[in-house]
Amino acid sequence: MTRLLILIALICSTSVWALPQESRVPGGIALLRLPTLPEGARLTLKGNPVWTLPSEKGEQIAIIGIPLDTPAGELALQIESSTGNQQIDVTVDAKDYPEQRITLPTQKHVTPSEENLARYAREAREQLAIYQSFNTTGSNWPTFIIPVRGPYSSPFGLRRFFNNEPRAPHAGLDIAAPAGLAVQAPADGVVAQTGDYFFNGRTVMIDHGNGLISMLCHLSKISVQKDQQIKRGDVIGKVGKTGRATGPHLHWTVSLNNARVDPILLLPAAP
């Protein structure tokens, strides 16, 4: 009997129960059930490989990150295979993210110097290369935890203005926490990069596999190294306010098929 219960628990933990929450909006995630998929089929969205998982019913489930700049309407998923190519349209609903106005004490991070802009461009390229990577690992969607406990100080998707100047939308979740508090890996993975970036400050990027990447920013201390294997809950650094930050907090970005998505969708749904 105990063995049977263990077996049931194993089946449950490796099946669709662990999928992220679905939200077909810009910055959301679409779960697309595909009953028949040709052998060796390759799914892409805007040229980025899309993670597909087998379901308990023998179908495939494509887990699609929807880019934040996607207009409401149809989003084209490409399926390439030896028997030909096809396109599936996914309907994306509109979402009006609220505005946020932030006052920074200096203009350094609002209107960066040419030198800092060049630095930022280099750093953005480095991060983009990681977001575009697709390392096939494991066959299950990983279980996520919140990397640090604290109130959500800025939700995902805010349309941002710094010192009244429009800037890129908030592509992550901010969690307010005291400086020095341990930051945990939100899920298993490999440290894809660490760095001290102009906007993001001290940062750790974690590759959870199959195009799913986390980035944890503004750390005061980094305690992992590039290429290190880590488990969910491992301490990767400490909360800080390095980079463009008005106070100590953790910024957590999640990227799926090179689309920044709302990290809330990966956490267990509120009861």
List contacts with Zn ion (CB under 5 A): 172, 174, 251
204: its two tokens: 């750790």
224 close to 182: Cβ distance less than 8 angstroms: no
- Min dist CB 211 to Zn ion, Å, is 22
Question: By C-beta, is 61 or 261 nearer to Zn ion?
Answer: 261
Query: Closest CB to Zn ion belongs to which residue?
Result: 251
- Min dist CB 20 to Zn ion, Å, is 20
| Residues in Cβ contact with 135 at an 8 Å cutoff, skipping those fewer than 6 apart | 190, 207, 209, 210
- Min dist CB 203 to Zn ion, Å, is 12
Question: By C-beta, is 24 or 251 nearer to Zn ion?
Answer: 251
Biggest CA–CA distance in the chain, Å, is: 68
Q: Which helix (H) or strand (E) holds 93?
A: none
Question: By C-beta, is 24 or 218 nearer to Zn ion?
Answer: 218
151: its two tokens: 């109130």
- Min dist CB 154 to Zn ion, Å, is 5
DSSP code for 128: H
Question: By C-beta, is 65 or 169 nearer to Zn ion?
Answer: 169
CA gap 161, 34 in Å, rounded: 41
